[in-house]
Amino acid sequence: MSAEYLGVPAEQLSDARLIGGLLIAAASAAGFGHVAMPAVRNQTDGGVSAVLLLDSGHIAVHSVPQRQVLLLDVVAPVSHDFRKVVEVLARRLTARDVKTATRTRG
């Protein structure tokens, strides 16, 4: 599943601690068990990239504060509810719009 969060304030998109915490909360909400800490990197443009490795998959985000956009990619077994990942981020980020797309892989 992928999602675009549009119209997110730049302050939220530049907050590495917020984005890392959202990945952990989203993974928990989708039913993933104990997960490691996400790898979070501040980009030179003020954005944040983060990835949380899961059993047989990942949750990754990239923020672009200048465009007020957060991009989300979730790859995991279909036994997990990917919508919960999208919902957690939507509740915590003040996005104007959220667009999602689902693809079957493998």
pLDDT at 102: 83
Residues β-bridged to residue 51: 39, 60
> Which is more confident, 59 or 56?
59
- Of 48, 60, 37, the C-alpha closest to 12 is 48
The confidence score (pLDDT) of residue 80 equals 73
pLDDT tops 80 at residue 35: no
Topology of the domain covering 2-101: S-adenosylmethionine decarboxylase (3.60.90)
pLDDT tens profile 2-30: 999 999 999 999 999 999 999 999 999 98
What CA–CA distance (Å, rounded) separates 14 from 28? 23
The predicted-structure confidence for 59-98, as pLDDT tens digits, reads as follows: 999 999 999 999 999 988 777 778 899 999 999 999 999 9
pLDDT of the residue at 78:
75
Cβ atoms of residues 40 and 48 within 8 Å? yes
Residue with the larger pLDDT of the pair 11 and 35: 11
Q: How much is the pLDDT for 74?
A: 92
User: In Å, how far are 1, 3, 27, 40, 106 from 87, measured between CA atoms?
Assistant: 13, 11, 11, 21, 25
Say what the pLDDT of residue 11 is.
97
**Distance (Å, whole) CA 25 – CA 89:** 9
